[in-house]
Amino acid sequence: MERVDIAVVGAGVVGLAAAARLARPDRSVVVLESHARHGVETSSRNSEVIHAGLYYPPGSLKSLLCHEGRRRLYALAGEAGIFVRKTGKLVVAADPSEEPALERLRRGAEAAGAEGLRLLDGAETRRLVPGLRAAAALWSPETGILDSEELMRHLLGKATDAGAIFLFGSPLTAVERRPEGWVLTFGPSGERLCAPVVVNAAGLHSDRVAELAGIGIDEASYRLHWCKGCYFRCRRPIPLPHLVYPVPEAHGLGVHLTPDREGRVRLGPDSAFVHSLDYDVDPALRASFHAAASRYWPGLAPEDLDPDTAGIRPKLSGPEGGFRDFVIAEESARGLPGWINLIGIESPGLTAALAIAERVAALAC
Ligand SMILES: Cc1cc2nc3c(=O)[nH]c(=O)nc-3n(C[C@H](O)[C@H](O)[C@H](O)COP(=O)(O)OP(=O)(O)OC[C@H]3O[C@@H](n4cnc5c(N)ncnc54)[C@H](O)[C@@H]3O)c2cc1C
């Protein structure tokens, strides 16, 4: 049986960032990935927004790692030629009744360290994005967009150059704890490897992978709830220089307008708890997307919208639950030394990936 220093389960953006951070000539890293390539699940099914940390409680991992990850991401993109654009974003109160919620958002975001925020009145908002229906807006200059595939390809290349081995088509199916380390069984023919350190970066399946290691996921509060977010795409080009969001709702940030690098505008995501990995977007949702967006973007017609992609959030809280933070934990306290769980890495996981990798390195080495 092959022995390696570190095994990473999952080649989404978080597993890739961890492998890129950990691999080096004197430290062997193997990445197990179920799919035939990297980033097929949540990491390629999201808004591709670099978040500025407006929404997370001060001091939470989501807040701290969003800020650190964003700074690292902008710096890396500059060095490595990964597409990013600091577009800035407007969170819009469509009518005066939403202004107290906007003011609460501003206070919370400033307390959590968000930089450069400004409250704008309706006229100032429309100077930035003509045509918006806005009583007021919160301006966040640090928000941006990125090409997540370019980021993932860079991390894959960096990890591979440093010697990491990627085993695609290799789902982890069993885990056994032995004195010499973790024995992982994977792939269709039940191959095995042994590693003293395992990083569980299995995204939507990270609770099941933790269970394979012997963790009672209900007892540990690690059970994930899947929450689907669908997108529609605007058929006609809209010149949108900044991201436009409504005031946030319970399980997501609300149906927002996001331009991509080609200038096409996507609307979404909405949120609905689901039990299966079904990424279809029902065209019948067009009416609710139109209603949500036209509250602050009245120029939109329903026939402007085509169904686009969907993604699924790995949430630690269910429909009635409140805020839950990322789980980033080395599990010695449960008698499982060397097992590192990354669970509930929902938004802002893409923004935070490089900072999560630093935490993992501190736990692993
Ligand atoms: C609708 C939506 C919008 C979002 N928007 C944003 C945004 O704008 N900005 C932002 O910062 N974040 C956003 N996010 C969050 C972000 O996309 C995720 O936090 C991030 O992609 C998580 O990456 P990951 O590597 O943990 O998971 P994943 O990308 O899901 O990767 C996990 C990998 O593990 C593999 N795997 C699972 N089980 C096994 C197994 N047993 N054996 C081997 N491999 C396994 C899977 O195949 C998968 O490739 C959004 C998420 C959603 C759903």
Residues 193 and 132 in one domain: no
Residues 213 and 327 in one domain: yes
Is 72 a domain residue? no
Is 358 a domain residue? yes
Amino acid at 352: A
Q: Whole-angstrom Cα distance, residue 273 to residue 226? A: 6
Ligand 1 near 35 CB (within 6 A): yes
| Domain interval for residue 95 | 88-141+224-315
Tokens representing residue 122 in the block = 């309706």
Q: Identify the pLDDT of residue 239.
A: 82
Q: Identify the pLDDT of residue 136.
A: 97
Number of domains in the chain: 2
Q: Identify the pLDDT of residue 251.
A: 61
Residues 231 and 297 in one domain: yes
pLDDT digits (tens, 9 = 90+) for 124-169: 999 999 999 999 999 999 999 999 999 999 999 999 999 999 999 9
Ligand 1 near 91 CB (within 6 A): no
Query: For a pocket test of ligand 1, which of 13, 16, 46 has the largest count of ligand atoms closer than 8 A to its C-beta?
Result: 46
Among 300, 315, 330, the domain boundary falls at 315
Ligand 1 near 98 CB (within 6 A): no
Ligand 1 near 270 CB (within 6 A): no
Is 108 a domain residue? yes
Q: Identify the pLDDT of residue 252.
A: 67
Residues 180 and 197 in one domain: yes
Residues 117 and 250 in one domain: yes
Q: Identify the pLDDT of residue 260.
A: 87
Is 135 a domain residue? yes
Ligand 1 near 144 CB (within 6 A): no
Is 73 a domain residue? no
CATH number of the domain to which 184 belongs: 3.50.50.60
Q: Identify the pLDDT of residue 238.
A: 83
CA of 94 to the centre of ligand 1 (A): 32
**Cα angle value 347/274/232 (rounded, 5°):** 65
Instruction: Say which residues have a Cβ less than 8 Å from residue 216's Cβ, sequence separation at least 6.
Output: none
Q: Identify the pLDDT of residue 200.
A: 98
Specify the ligand 1 atom closest to the Cα of 32: 43
Q: Identify the pLDDT of residue 90.
A: 97
Residues 326 and 358 in one domain: yes
Tokens representing residue 206 in the block = 């990270």
**Cα angle value 50/55/57 (rounded, 5°):** 125
SS3 189: coil
Is 74 a domain residue? no
Closest Cα to atom 15 of ligand 1:
347
Residues 295 and 160 in one domain: no
CATH number of the domain to which 254 belongs: 3.30.9.10
Residues 117 and 185 in one domain: no
Residues 250 and 197 in one domain: no
Among 285, 300, 315, the domain boundary falls at 315
Side-chain half-sphere CA neighbours of 254 within 13 A: 21
Residues 159 and 188 in one domain: yes
Residues 216 and 360 in one domain: yes
Query: For a pocket test of ligand 1, which of 21, 41, 281, 315 has the largest count of ligand atoms closer than 8 A to its C-beta?
Result: 41
CA of 95 to the centre of ligand 1 (A): 35
Is 64 a domain residue? no
Is 77 a domain residue? no
Under 8 Å between Cβ of 118 and 71? no
Residues 125 and 256 in one domain: yes
Give the DSSP per-residue string, 243-265: EEEES--SSSS-SEEEE-TTS-E
User: Which residue positions in the chain have pLDDT lower than 70?
Assistant: 250-252
